[in-house]
Structure 1
Amino acid sequence: MDAERGGPGPHAPAGVRRVVLWVPDWPTTSLVVDVPPGAPAATVREARVVVPTMAARRAGVRARMPVSTAQSLCPGLIVLADDPVRQASAFEPVARVFDAVAAGVVCLRPGLAWAPAAGPARWLGTEEALAECLVESVAAQTGAECQVGIATGMLASLEAARQGVVVPPADTGEFLADLPLAGAGRVLPPEQAEGVLHAVDVLSQLGVRTCADAVGLGRGPLATRFGRAGEVLWSLCTGGDLPTRGMARAPRDVSVSLDHDPPVVDLDQVVVGLRRLAEELAGSLWRAGASSQTLTVWMETETGVRRERTWTAVDCASPADVVDRARWQLRGWSQACGSAEPGAQAPDSALARVGMVARGLVAAPPGPPLWGREDGRVRAERAVLRLQSLLGEEAVIAPHAQGGQDPRSRVSGGVWGAPVPDLAPLDGEWEGGVDGEPATVLDAPCPARLYGMTEKGPERGAPLLAVVASEGQTVTGDERRGREGLRPLHVGPRGDLDARPTVLVPDPAPGARLPAGLEAGRAVTIRVTGGPWAVLGRWWEGPDSPRAPRAYLRVGRENGEGPDLLLVQRQGSWAVEGVYD
């Protein structure tokens, strides 16, 4: 079996050897003060269960279940509000124990962290000794029961922690073979998880449900069909890490900091300045043309004590995400120093400096909107928030440029403020697509009838003032000419026209708006100015799919009045797709 299409076995894992610490049910484990040992409990957000305890799961309670259903299944269920701040601050003591055993600890989320395994394993003798030492240290110093796993690559190491095993590098493929593809979403940042999980859903409908199934398809077919999401799946399923976009002449890290003079002991005073730091960090990333998913938060006290913690799966260009992580971390440190409450006077807890560092920079996705990121950006965001509050979050759509064969597929729309969807690469293989972009693409194509002149018809340039639109109906014209030689026009699968395009008759739905210069039922004499372009499309999605086989034609008006039009033919019917400048 060749390396491209074989199973997981022949593929040497290319990821980093990681030791992963996982505390099961951390959102409820972190609330041990409110939950008696072994009691059924669940954290809840927006009337739905987020994480149930093991006792609650035995009673049938599941994540995303309505609270009313969970309480009917388990009458003694303890319902607790989902509090990310408390969960993160409570995890800090566990993370400090991890720091004492391994260097370079990175938190994926509260309750889950990892670090490179090579150094501490060499120091302790074996990887098994490292895992045993970490479990015992966490239990002895924090009372939390954790599971530790060691493996190669992001997905394999996370699954190893869930099973509490050490996986040798040579066994990575076999270990991942039966793992469901849906598990890939657990190690991805939100903006990548959405696209990858969509690919997983499509693959599951085709019978590809495990890592071995995905590897069996081959890297090329996965990347061709799903773009970057396919590359991510291939890397995770073969024991690798997340593929990144390279960038040239970029700083390795971007850092910002804030001095407090005099030092402050009230945490609320520190939080006020975090938003400004986060905005400054996002602006620096934008100017560098970079993005980052790894954030380090650090602080220095007036006595010179420095602490720092690194988080991954964070959008460092999003001030809201950055502020959340920084606030979680500062509260955890403050609790350790005795200053969690406003006005606390712990001598060593007064903060002199606080800072943030965006690490692991990669090339940024498509650029920001036309109005930039400064004052205009702020005003635009305020206007959008007002519209969303009046009309709903889905009422404002943000466009994102991507690769595609036609103008409509080259723009991906998403809800403003939501994670950017997984975009098709601009430099993909889009040969044969429509050349040039129309200035306006209609919300919905306007149906029209396109007629062509055969060789028997009037010569090019002869006036054609009357066209019969349907049996017994004359469209327009002060004079009549026969219809001899005039026929509905079609484009063949190879882009060949069966007649010379001559007349366009818009036929919109009642009340639909038409481009300037067009009237419903009124014939317009036209000439071809570009195309035709035949797009094979995704024929397997069926004829009703917007990405089914189609053909495009650019036409101008013989009288020169009005801009060129982009026409599209789907299933033998024509429509006006867009308008050029």
Structure 2
Amino acid sequence: MLVLWCPDWPVVAAGVAAGLPAHLPAAVFAANRVVACSAIARAAGVRRDMRRREAQSRCPELAVFGEDQDRDARLFEPIVEAVEELVVGVEAVRPGVVAVPVSGASGYFGGEHRLVELLVDHVSGETGVECQIGVADGLFAATLAAHRSVLVEEGAAARFLAPLSVTELDQPDTGRAELVDLLRRLGLRTLGSFAALSERDVAGRFGSEGVLAHRLANGQDERPPHRRRPPPELFVTKTFDPPLERVDVAAFMGKTLAGRFHSGLSSRGLACTRLGIYATTERGEELSRIWRCAEPLTPEGIADRVRWQFEGWLRAGDGRRPTAGVSELRLEPEETVEGAALQLGLWQGGDGGEHTPEADRAARALVHVQGLLGPDSVFTAVPEGGRGPAERVRLVPWGDQRMPSDGHDASWPEQLPGLSPATVFEEPVPAFVTDAEGTEVSVTDRYALTGPPHQVSIEGGAARRVLAWAGPWPVLARWWAPEGRPTTGRVQVVLEGMSGAQSEVALLLNWQAKRSPLWTVEGMYD
């Protein structure tokens, strides 16, 4: 997460609204106490929560402003818009703080450091406001990193937070003052000391509020960012009389509607990345589909998705096809980005991340398949944590964010060493493994082979000699069962080529007790 923070924003906003020069000391008060002050005022001794009389006695020339959250939010909007011109998925956390996911933007601009430099220069140049940026895992850690202008490495948020004061938990609008005071009185003065407590103990002593604060202290986050939703006037609706019952007619109407839809977004400098297609039939049936787009949609891309969606609706099989023609069609921009900020998360072509004709054609073909078969018909693979080769890959629908799960690259116990097989069979293939005497090889209770593998015969094929082998690697299965011991093991073997074939074959074999056959082929190496 990347957080852009404007220091002393209430004072900055108040000074801008009043036309106060930036070099004069100023402070914002609520109930006669300082809620924010400028750096010049702090140099004169003004501090947060200080009474107004004491603040003015320390700095007689202090400009006094009242708290006005509406003013702060209104004047902060140009800064949010300036961030959106470079980075998509912006969330205004509160006036003075903006958060965005950093993964796609950092890849597009050539790294986190380059992204930070561009954002600081762009925001300062467009708005004239000074800002600081921090990057860390989670909104809380990234906010504290922004206060210190630090870029925290991925996975190091807990280590970054550990030495910081527990008072950092009392961020604006959180209401954690009492909890922080209690933690300090109990001797827990740093976030690290609080994070070291077990979650069970925290829940029993501090309740749900304490558990949430404990998660933050551990570098975790309470929620993902919320992207800004488009205003309702960007929706486009059209009714049809007579209703649409043919795909070619629907495609023609959809092309016209797509042009109106895209023009409405373009007039506001926006482009659509998640498109909602909603239809109502003559008999009141409701049809809907959300299209996840790997890149902002053009008018042709919108029209294509409308046509493909109608192909999926009107040409569906019996029982799934609508019982009447479509009488109303509505297009909604479920998520938008700045039209000038085309950040590609998949299949970036060229050194600069530009489009290539091959990538465009492939993407359009995949989306076309989704239109015919549904959004869960096309998948791409992302790394996943696990022990076996089949567990180490997760399939993600085309267009969704391809982010590996946390801990996917961790050292899993009993993980198969080396590279995973190139081919993993959905249904394991039966095999028969024998030693030099022709006796079937098994695995002992201590996970040693009863004999060196000499031949392997796969179902439907001739026996092939084993040239090399490694293993077995035990897999702890049903460890909670009364027998309390592993029941599965894996062995890697290299077999000689078949008659007339020169290439050798490397296989991953799986042995399991009380199964017939004992051996199966789990995967094959290239």
Same-fold status (TM-score > 0.5): no
Tell me the TM-score normalized by structure 2: 0.42
